[in-house]
Amino acid sequence: MSEVVLSVRNLVMRFGGLVAVDQVAFDVKKNEIFSIIGPNGAGKTTVFNCVSGFYSPSEGQISLFGENITGKPSHVVANHGLVRTFQNVRLFKNLTALENLLVAQHNHLSAGFIAGLLNLPSYKRSEKAALENAVKWLDFMGLRDMANREAGNLAYGHQRRLEIARCMITKPKLLLLDEPAAGLNPQEKKDLARMIDQLRHEFDISVLLIEHDMSLIMDISDRIMVMEMGKPLVTGLPEEVRNDPQVIKAYLGE
């Protein structure tokens, strides 16, 4: 049996009287691309926010590599190897593309604060490694020519790529992507799908994805969970989900 990376059980999230997520359960396995789809307001982003430590769930258990991370804050969850992007790109818009990738490595620099203050050789070495790493990721994402441009001035598709690079540079084991194809044109969507697939193979990561673009979802997902009104409706392979009468009804009506 393949290793379970993320396990979510009996997840419930209430906002006052509203039950946004109701008894959601799923596993993400090693190297898997697992997608969550569903109509607007189905609870997908709320699941993401619970899993990534932005919300503390009302009920349920979330574990990452067997370790209980339920209700742990996002920086702790990130230290366990889970990072995420957001529906609206959240970059440091006034910093350059390169600077965004340097800042992202701040917590991972091997030399400490004192070494930095005294500008010791160990700090210089780790700064050089961070710079090389940032350039490697700019290359991987096809952003090398834009290294010195302010992130806020990049085309939207490039900002999305930079945001994924900023996650990947922290060497995650599980990458959460919240609507990464939103606002992209058809060619950019195709490129994105190829890139996500390449990332999981080359860097041996698992991916948890929320997306509205059905062709992208059907193209790259290993398994899909469909949510409706906070509840999990169906979980299965893309072809199972595509042909499921409940799913067709949820999307198209009776």
Ligand X SMILES: Nc1ncnc2c1ncn2[C@@H]1O[C@H](COP(=O)(O)OP(=O)(O)OP(=O)(O)O)[C@@H](O)[C@H]1O
Strands 67-68, 59-64: pairing kind:
antiparallel
Does residue 52 interact with ligand X by CB under 6 A? no
Q: What six digits make up the tokens of 170? A: 């922290």
Q: Which of 196, 143, 128 is nearest to 168 (CA)?
A: 196
- Which of 22, 26, 35, 44 is the binder for ligand X (CB under 6 A)? 44
Instruction: Pick one of 45, 52, 159, 206: the residue that binds ligand X (CB under 6 A).
Output: 45
Among 41, 73, 121, 142, binds ligand X (CB under 6 A): 41
Residues 10-29 that bind ligand X (CB under 6 A): 15, 18, 20
Provide the minimum distance between the beta carbon of 191 and ligand X in the complex, in angstroms, as a whole number: 23
Nearer to ligand X, 18 or 117 (CB): 18
Which of the ranges 37-45, 103-111, 115-123, 138-146 carries the binding residues for ligand X, by CB under 6 A?
Answer: 37-45
Residue 198: count of CB within 10 angstroms of its CB: 11
Pick the binder of ligand X from 46, 52, 85, 100 (CB under 6 A): 46
- How many residues lie near ligand X (CB under 6 A)? 11
251 near ligand X, rule: CB under 6 A:
no
Using alpha carbons, list the distances in angstroms from residue 64 to 6, 35, 36, 82, 117. Answer: 5, 17, 18, 8, 36
Q: Smallest Cα–Cα separation from 142: which of 99, 97, 89?
A: 97
For residue 81, report the phi and psi dihedrals to the nearest 5 degrees: 100, 15
Q: How many degrees, rounded to 5, is the angle at CA 104 between CA 103 and CA 109?
A: 80
Is 57:15 a contact under the CB 8 Å cutoff? no
- Between 41 and 152, CB nearer to ligand X: 41
DSSP label at residue 108: G
Under the binding rule (CB under 6 A), the answer on residue 38 touching ligand X is yes
Nearer to ligand X, 41 or 112 (CB): 41
Nearer to ligand X, 165 or 228 (CB): 228
Interface residue list for ligand X (CB under 6 A): 15, 18, 20, 38, 40-46
